[in-house]
Amino acid sequence: MAAVALVRGVPASFAECVAATPPDPPLSQEVAAEQHARYVAALEQGGYDVVAVPADDDRPDSSFIEDTAVVIGARVLATRPGHPSRRDEVAPVAGALGGRYPVHRVRAPAMIDGGDFLKMGSSVFVGRSDRTNDEGVSAVAAIAEPQGLSVTSVPVGRVLHLKSGLSALDDSTLLWHPNACDRSVFDGFDIVEVPGVDPEAANVLRLADGRILVAEHHQETASLVAARGFGVVTVDVSEFARADGGLTCLSIRIR
Ligand code: GLY
């Protein structure tokens, strides 16, 4: 089966995105839309068939589609995002995935954002963050464990989501920033530590062809990943970074 990536275009209301610190100058929808088009092209050049869910101008954060659904083996969990303003983003994404997979829904009081979900081989890690609670972790486990996947709940450190400070280079190698979580969670994995003050520098995306997509403003990460023998592609997603979003936030990848 071809690798597929779901994306969602940048809404007219993008400047109203949830952000820990109000962006100054304000976010630009035009700049974000240009960057998004190049991001989509990078996914396509990296081997993904891209499926676009229609943009929703009334949902400022809806380009951060990863938070709305997680693919767990042969099933999909439509999430219940931790930030109330983001909950109406879910239904169209669940609808787009529903033609391919059985879709399960997260029920209140559970909350989970896809940015807190990481799968490496048969191991699933779920960040316990401000956006994902214990009931959300249990919702993942209820789908993952019957499929033979192990599930580990990970207390998240000083980042928004678990993957705001780490990501997988392959099924055994992790790019990790110390702000993300305790390193010992990943004992047994090959850990590449990302230096510096910005944990988002550890958020990269595995392309379908095995190369690694790195944010253009994290050149040190690009060098670190290349030194490990991975092919590296860079793309400018700086406008999304100002809205607390990383590379992985902008797509749902199905490999
Ligand atoms: N702006 C992305 C988020 O806070 O979910």
Residue boundaries of the structural domains of the chain: 4-254
Query: Sign of dihedral through CA atoms 192, 198, 200, 206?
Result: negative
Out of 17, 36, 104, 161, pick the active-site residue. Answer: 161
The tens-digit pLDDT sequence of the chain (255 residues) is 689 999 999 999 999 999 999 999 999 999 999 999 999 999 999 999 999 999 999 999 999 999 999 999 999 999 999 999 999 999 999 999 998 899 999 999 999 999 999 999 999 999 999 999 999 999 999 999 999 999 999 999 999 999 999 999 999 999 999 999 999 999 999 999 999 999 999 999 999 999 999 999 999 999 999 999 999 999 999 999 999 999 999 999 998
Which atom of ligand 1 is closest in space to residue 243's alpha carbon?
Answer: 1
Distance 158 CA to ligand 1 centre (A): 15
Q: Confirm whether 104 is a catalytic residue.
A: no
Contact 214, 225 (CB under 8 A): yes
Residue 83 sits at φ, ψ, to 5 deg, of -90, 120
- Ligand 1 contacts (CB < 6 A) are 17-19, 61, 64, 83, 243-245
Distance 137 CA to ligand 1 centre (A): 19
Candidate from 59, 61, 247 with most ligand 1 atoms within 8 A of CB, to mutate: 61
Question: pTM value?
Answer: 0.97
Which atom of ligand 1 is closest in space to residue 17's alpha carbon?
Answer: 1
Residue 148 sits at φ, ψ, to 5 deg, of 85, 15
Q: Which amino acid is at 169?
A: L
Letter string b/e over residues 151-167, b meaning 16 or more CB atoms within 10 A of that residue's CB: bebbebbebbbbbbbbb
Contact 175, 167 (CB under 8 A): yes
Q: Whose CA is nearest to atom 4 of ligand 1?
A: 18
pLDDT at 255: 86
Rounded-to-integer distance, Cα 36 and Cα 63, Å = 9
Distance 228 CA to ligand 1 centre (A): 31
Q: Token digits for 211?
A: 């190369």
Candidate from 8, 10, 13, 18 with most ligand 1 atoms within 8 A of CB, to mutate: 18
Q: Whose CA is nearest to atom 5 of ligand 1?
A: 18
Q: Confirm whether 161 is a catalytic residue.
A: yes
Question: What architecture is domain 4-254?
Answer: 5-stranded Propeller (3.75)
Distance 61 CA to ligand 1 centre (A): 6
CA torsion 133-138-141-143 (nearest 10°) is: -110
